[in-house]
Structure 1
Amino acid sequence: MSIVSRSLSDQAFEVIRERILSGEIPALAPIRQEALAEDLGISKIPLREALTRLEQSGLLRSLPNRGFFVPALSALEAEEVFALRLKLEPDAAADACLEADDAQHAAARAALAALEAVDGGDKAALATCNRGFHLLLVQSTRHQVTAQLVERLHLLADRYVHKHLEPEGRYRRADDEHQRLLDAWLARDPALVRALLAAHLQLTLDDLRLQLASTAP
């Protein structure tokens, strides 16, 4: 797959990110930069920029004499990431629903429609659209730092969301939860938004605890 774009690093970031989420690049396997650069049709400079960004996003790690690799999923990391999301995201969405305008309402409806239109077998696309929907709910002119922190947590959570969606039909349950959450957000009901989003995140974490039990230290 060759990349022809004015921003090679950005394009490489997106392609490699999707390969990580889909499992095409397996956990703990070293990233062979020369082979990957050749596959993408780019030089090693934009590739390394993309790999560094992916490391900053938590999707890659690097070690001396080993280079970049995808870290294994960790029950401990999932606990930490979702605990932080539970502390920040419900309140952020509750605050944002009070200031959202018609354009933001339309964007949130469109984001949920896009999520529901994704083929259930495309877990990487489901995770990406899921992130887009959640982030729209916390966009706020008054709490921009909070929204940026939530976005960072979502990048860290992406692989766990992908894992969470593995069981057949689970995304349909999430669709129902998302619809109720959107209805409350559009109705500008902060208490209900806070309660529904907290329950949604907690249920996801509970599922992940079972799925990742074997990876606990």
Structure 2
Amino acid sequence: MTLLVKRGLADQIFDLVRDRIISGMMVGDMPIRQDALAAELGVSKIPLREAFAKLEQDGLVLSQANRGFFVRPLSADEAYDVFDLRLKIEPEAVALACRRASADDHEIAQTALAALNQAIETRRPEAGALNRAFHLALIRPGGRLVTMQMVERLQVIAERYVCKHLEPKGRDDQAVAEHKALFGAWAAGRADAAAALASAHIANTLRDLRAEFAVARERLDDSPVPVLGRS
């Protein structure tokens, strides 16, 4: 039985696989069995190929000649690069949007924040996408198309790292508090304060990710090395 409607199959497959990767159901370096996925969804390989081309473009999967597609692993270097770029671009963009935002813009951002908080509270896999929607809502009123496109691209790459950042206990409360303060300053028209809070929020996430990757690296270094000839 076909699980997906025939309209926009590639987009639906993209959304489904993307959600599985971001939620951790499909982990880094995991090979993706396209035959099994096509059978599960009741689709041909044509929309699968279209979906995976877009997933690769968004940096979620890698293709290897004669081996197919693999989930792209999380990378400390990528996380540092993405969040460093966000630090350079987003605070100023938030400040500009703060000065130009209308009452309707405030309502859109508040709705996005409420949806994000609910997803964080219930630990739904959509938290990454909703986090992106909230941050973009704080930038969109600035009216700078190129800036929006750049930030959105960075946010797409950052989604898996945002979900990883929220995993440890207590991070949910931290994120909710920082988002609340950021939105409060932005909605009140306090552009300089909003920029400072946006900068601190991104920097805090980057700091936490650095610590998590450092711990993971130490564990890898401390793992026993197998000795040849012993079982």
TM-score band, normalised by shorter chain:
over 0.9
Alignment match, 1:65 = 66
1:23-102 correspondence runs (5 A): 23-102=24-103
- Structure 1 residue 5 displacement after superposition: 5.1
Contact 2:185 2:193 in 1 (8 A): yes
Contact 2:38 2:44 in 1 (8 A): yes
Alignment match, 1:149 = 150
* Per-residue CA distance 1:115-137 (angstroms, 9 max, x = gap): 11225352522212111111111
Contact 1:73 1:215 in 2 (8 A): no
Q: Which TM-score applies when normalising by structure 2?
A: 0.88
Alignment match, 1:11 = 12
Contact 1:123 1:165 in 2 (8 A): no
Aligned length: 217
Aligned partner of residue 31 in structure 1, secondary structure: coil
Alignment match, 2:184 = 183
- Structure 1 residue 10 displacement after superposition: 1.1
Aligned partner of residue 124 in structure 1, secondary structure: coil
Separation in 1 of the partners of 2:184 and 2:97? 14
What's the RMSD between the two structures over aligned residues?
1.8
* Per-residue CA distance 1:147-189 (angstroms, 9 max, x = gap): 1110000111111111000012311111110011001111122
- Write out the 4+ residue segments of structure 1 that deviate beyond 6 Å after TM superposition: none
Separation in 1 of the partners of 2:109 and 2:4? 30
- Structure 1 residue 71 displacement after superposition: 1.6
- Structure 1 residue 193 displacement after superposition: 1.0
- Structure 1 residue 215 displacement after superposition: 4.5
- Structure 1 residue 141 displacement after superposition: 5.7
Q: Does 1:107 align with 2:108?
A: yes
Separation in 2 of the partners of 1:119 and 1:174? 9
Identity between Structure 1 and Structure 2 (%): 49
> RCO (CA 8 Å, sep 6+): is it higher in 1 or 2?
1
Separation in 1 of the partners of 2:3 and 2:177? 38
Q: Which TM-score applies when normalising by structure 1?
A: 0.94
Q: 5+ unaligned residues in a row in structure 1: which ranges? A: none
- Structure 1 residue 60 displacement after superposition: 1.1
- Structure 1 residue 195 displacement after superposition: 0.3
